[in-house]
Amino acid sequence: MKTLIKNIHILNPHQKPFLGSLLIENDKIKKIFKGDSRRSLYSAKAGYWNGKDFDKVIEGKGLHCFPGFIDLHCHLREPGFEDCETIESGSRAAAAGGFTTICCMPNTNPVNDHPQVTRLLQQKIKNSSVIKVFPIGAISEGLEGKRLAQIGLCVDEGIIAISDDGKCISSTSFMAKALAYSRQFDIPVVVHAEDPSLVYEYGIHTGRRASLLGLKGSPALAEEVIVARDIVLAERLKARLHIAHVTSWQSVEYIKHAKERGVKVTAEVCPHHLLLTEKATEDFNTLAKVAPPLRSEKHRAALRHALKTDVIDCIATDHAPWSEKYKDLPFVEAACGIAGFETAFSLSYELVQEGVLSLPKLISKLTVEPAKIFGLPKPEIKENSAADLVLVNLEQKYKIDTKNFLSKSKNTPFEGKSVKGKVKYTFCNGQLVYSDQ
Amino acid sequence: MNHLLGVKELSAQKIRAILKEAFYFKNLVQKKDPSLQTLLANHVVANVFFEPSTRTRVSFEIAAKKLGASVINVLQESSSIVKGETIFDTLLNLEAMGVDLFIMRHSEAGMPHYLSRYLKTPIINAGDGAHEHPTQALLDLMTIVEYHKNLKGLKVVILGDILHSRVARSNIFCLTKLGVKITLCSLPTLIPKGFSDLDLSISYDLKSAIADADVIMVLRLQKERHEQNDIPSMKEYVKYFQLNETLSFPKKALIMHPGPVNRNVEMSDKLYNHSQSVVLSQVRNGLPMRMALISIFLRNEFLAR
């Protein structure tokens, strides 16, 4: 199988973009031709010119080519909640968002806290995913925060990190044990920082908006105390700590100072926290109900600055698909979460348009930076590397329309929003796994 | 108006129109006007209450009956929480049976808002969690204007457990729209987060807060607040925040309470029976205010000219 992609702007993170063409053979990038295709292909080999030698030729004029995006944080809902998402539908939705590698959280039913569950997942991934999926194992059995899951045996089956995401580990002693134990396998411990004893209602920020709705919500403080606690623990225990979906300016300060001291701490932020504030929850809008919640403008501004200054390492979607059954309920009863794969790039690209991030920096936050955190191969467009690629039309404007979502769930507060930057093609291991037709 | 979910959604103009309508009904009631009894004949009003309430429910019931409407009571005031899906089914059934208006109370904030998206029948919110209790705020307003004609610049102190009070929120929305100056007076743990950003004052000192008040609205303090560590003890709360006769406040100040009052907790018995207390006027005004609202929804028109 040979695919030629012509006349694209190739951008590797931390490098200057250049015009060129790519030859994909089977699962690898076989050759990169620099410059205009007419000249470069002709001089390379006569046959390349007319396209005879290829199974598929894509004219990429006006498109940018990046390494496939990597998402450290998503929920694929299989097994247990297949009415909301499956590994297949989730992987196709991710591909539509330009992702070629995603890492799925263990809060399924059953929970991924046992090697047999991991093995089952790996089989399902092999059979039905169109892209690379790495499972994240649970820290505790049943996500109950009481007994350690069989972490080592799950590592043997291929888990890439551990997390009790969706739940916060309240017990300091249990968290200390988990961090100490993780060192043996040198895997990151991913924390959902939201102290349950400080939370009244999940999914809405304790602040003016919640107060006016008669809700007490979840305060920024609930995140901050856990971030501070876990940094203290990780520093002392020399473990790898990854803070999921940071939302508070004070958490950012703690992470910044920890990094300056050399603590092995990394952090991610979600597009919805970079774009929205608590204002979106007005009128009990359950589509904006997400944990941790959308906060105030001060927090949002701090997250943007932290991403720019690398205090926050990467962008992750926290793709949390829920069908209407879980979302179309009174606010207090509705599930927390936003389906994020298919809007992640266009939303994040607003930061480039607003001058917060440069384009190369945004791409590194979606590729090399997340890869580093989980120890994945360095995503790079070079000869003989895996052909995991995304082609994007940065100029194309469109309206977010959930009718076009490949995800089984349509829960997004961004419906109808006008955005720029559309994913046109995604290749994973040389296979075309998404094309925008 | 399709529903009355909260005061937040009402314009100042709409509030004034409702007020006028309520006084119109008050006048008809006082005159014992015979036309009232048949005004809403053949209409069915359903009280659907998922939280214990006697006074509000009965007030609505009497209001509807005085207008000739039939009233049914659907009361599921059990300790188990009734979820939105189940209620939705219940109300759909009642709607199919020909209920013309729902009066609804639920312990969860936002419940009537959720249901209103799917029901054709109008809903009057009779209290949702700590969110809104619009009819209480409107009858409070009616009571205030009977004593203070000019609302602009009037100083209203709301005293007590503001954090858990839907009455406080609806009154804040209502009075702010009419140019009233509001002071919230309580201890820091009972003031909602972010309320300092609103166009009102916050005071932690009862004495100074009420010194120049035109209206003092006292809220009910629930006994659970002690268990939830919002206050260390009732005794301590009483010492700092009870409204009683030892305090000095202007002679013209109205003393209000939405009821039911915890006697000698948030307010002393002497003040409850004080000449400046209008607590029973509030209860009396509840009737014409609710008659007005029921009539507005069932007849789809304002009668007052």
pLDDT per residue of chain B (305 residues) written in tens, 0 to 9: 899 999 999 999 999 999 999 999 999 999 999 999 999 999 999 999 999 889 999 999 999 999 999 999 998 865 556 677 788 989 999 999 999 999 999 999 999 999 999 999 999 999 999 999 999 999 999 999 999 999 999 999 999 999 999 999 999 999 999 999 999 999 999 999 999 999 999 999 999 999 999 999 999 998 777 778 889 999 999 999 999 999 999 999 999 999 999 999 999 999 999 999 999 999 999 999 999 999 999 999 999 87
| Cα gap A116→A124, rounded to integer Å | 12
* pLDDT of A51 strictly over 70: no
Beta carbons of A331 and B8 less than 8 Å apart: no
Predicted confidence band of residue A52 (pLDDT cuts 50, 70, 90): low
* pLDDT of A47 strictly over 60: no
Q: Is position A322 within any domain?
A: yes
Amino acid at B184: L
Angle value at C-alpha A250, between A245 and A256, nearest 5 degrees:
80
pLDDT at residue number B79: 53
Q: Is A162 on the interface with B (CB under 8 A)?
A: no
Token code pair at residue A258: 């920890």
Beta carbons of A213 and B110 less than 8 Å apart: yes
pLDDT at residue number A84: 98
Q: Is the peptide bond before A377 cis (omega within 30 degrees of 0)?
A: no
Give the residue from chain A lying closest to B109, CA to CA: A214
Asked whether the beta carbons of A165 and A136 are under 8 A apart, the reply is yes
Range of the domain at B45: 12-132+285-299
Q: Is position B264 within any domain?
A: yes
Alpha-carbon distance A192 to nearest alpha carbon in chain B (angstroms): 23
Q: Is position B3 within any domain?
A: no
Predicted confidence band of residue A167 (pLDDT cuts 50, 70, 90): very high
Please check whether residues A318 and A269 belong to one and the same domain: yes
Alpha-carbon distance B270 to nearest alpha carbon in chain A (angstroms): 32
Please check whether residues A343 and A294 belong to one and the same domain: yes
The residue length of chain A stands at: 437
Helices A359-366 and A344-353: crossing angle in degrees, nearest 10, is 150
Beta carbons of B193 and A208 less than 8 Å apart: yes
Beta bridge partners of A2: A25
Residue range A358-366: mean pLDDT, rounded: 97
Q: Is B187 on the interface with A (CB under 8 A)?
A: no
Q: Is A333 on the interface with B (CB under 8 A)?
A: yes
Q: Is position A233 within any domain?
A: yes
pLDDT at residue number B238: 94
Q: What is the CATH number of the domain that holds A369?
A: 3.20.20.140
- What percent of chain A is modeled with pLDDT above 70? 97
Residue ending a domain, among A355, A374, A393, is: A374
Q: Is position A380 within any domain?
A: no
Q: What is the CATH number of the domain that holds B43?
A: 3.40.50.1370
Three-state DSSP state, A8: strand
Beta carbons of B113 and A214 less than 8 Å apart: no
Please check whether residues B16 and B96 belong to one and the same domain: yes
Q: Is A213 on the interface with B (CB under 8 A)?
A: yes
Please check whether residues A392 and A309 belong to one and the same domain: no
Alpha-carbon distance A334 to nearest alpha carbon in chain B (angstroms): 10
pLDDT at residue number A50: 59
Report chain A's mean pLDDT, rounded to a whole number.
96
pLDDT at residue number A247: 98
Q: Is position B158 within any domain?
A: yes
Count of domains for chain A: 2
Which residues of chain A make contact with B128, given a CB cutoff of 8 A? 214
Which residues of chain A make contact with B168, given a CB cutoff of 8 A? none
Q: Is B82 on the interface with A (CB under 8 A)?
A: no
Tell me which residues of A are annotated as active site. Answer: 318
Q: Is B176 on the interface with A (CB under 8 A)?
A: no
Please check whether residues B71 and B119 belong to one and the same domain: yes
Beta carbons of A214 and B131 less than 8 Å apart: yes
Asked whether the beta carbons of A156 and A120 are under 8 A apart, the reply is no
Give B152: exposed, middle or buried? Use CB within 10 Å, 0-12, 13-18, 19+.
exposed
pLDDT at residue number A49: 56
Beta carbons of B197 and A219 less than 8 Å apart: no
Alpha-carbon distance B186 to nearest alpha carbon in chain A (angstroms): 16
Q: What is the CATH number of the domain that holds A402?
A: 2.30.40.10
What CA–CA distances, in Å, run from B102 to A170, B60, B79? 43, 11, 22
Predicted confidence band of residue A327 (pLDDT cuts 50, 70, 90): very high
Taking chain B, what is the end-to-end CA distance rounded to the nearest angstrom? 18
H or E element: which one contains A313? none
Beta carbons of A208 and B197 less than 8 Å apart: yes
Please check whether residues A268 and A255 belong to one and the same domain: yes
Please check whether residues A44 and A74 belong to one and the same domain: no
Please check whether residues B161 and B241 belong to one and the same domain: yes
Please check whether residues A345 and A256 belong to one and the same domain: yes
3-state secondary structure chain B: CCCECCCCCCCHHHHHHHHHHHHHHHHHHHCCCCCHHHHCCCCEEEEEECCCCCHHHHHHHHHHHHCCCEEEEEECCCCCCCCHHHHHHHHHHHHHCCCCEEEEEECCCCHHHHHHCCCCCCEEEEEECCCECHHHHHHHHHHHHHHCCCCCCCEEEEECCCCCCHHHHHHHHHHHHCCCEEEEECCHHHCCCCHHHCCCEEECCHHHHHCCCCEEEECCCCCHHHHCCCCCCHHHHHHHHCECCCCCCCCCCEEECCCCCCECCCECHHHHCCCCECHHHHHHHHHHHHHHHHHHHHHCCCCCC
Please check whether residues B223 and B189 belong to one and the same domain: yes
* pLDDT of A350 strictly over 80: yes
CA dihedral A396, A401, A404, A408 (to 10 degrees): 140
* pLDDT of A230 strictly over 90: yes
pLDDT at residue number B84: 72
Alpha-carbon distance A208 to nearest alpha carbon in chain B (angstroms): 4
Q: Is A46 on the interface with B (CB under 8 A)?
A: no
Please check whether residues B108 and B246 belong to one and the same domain: no
Q: Is B81 on the interface with A (CB under 8 A)?
A: no
Q: Edge-to-edge, what's the strand order for the sheet holding A314-315? A: A162-163, A189-191, A241-243, A265-269, A314-315
Beta carbons of A215 and B195 less than 8 Å apart: no
Residue A245 DSSP class = S
Beta carbons of A330 and B130 less than 8 Å apart: no
Give the residue from chain B lying closest to A200, CA to CA: B228
Asked whether the beta carbons of A77 and A108 are under 8 A apart, the reply is yes
Please check whether residues A31 and A96 belong to one and the same domain: no
Which residues of chain B make contact with A216, given a CB cutoff of 8 A? 163, 192-193
Please check whether residues A226 and A247 belong to one and the same domain: yes
pLDDT at residue number B41: 95
Three-state DSSP state, A194: coil
Number of CB pairs, chain A paired with chain B, less than 8 A apart: 66
* pLDDT of A37 strictly over 80: no
Beta bridge partners of A393: A422
Range of the domain at A419: 2-65+385-435
Please check whether residues A73 and A58 belong to one and the same domain: no
Please check whether residues B127 and B144 belong to one and the same domain: no
Beta carbons of A208 and B8 less than 8 Å apart: no
Q: Is B91 on the interface with A (CB under 8 A)?
A: no
Q: Is position A379 within any domain?
A: no
Count of domains for chain B: 2
Q: Is B200 on the interface with A (CB under 8 A)?
A: no
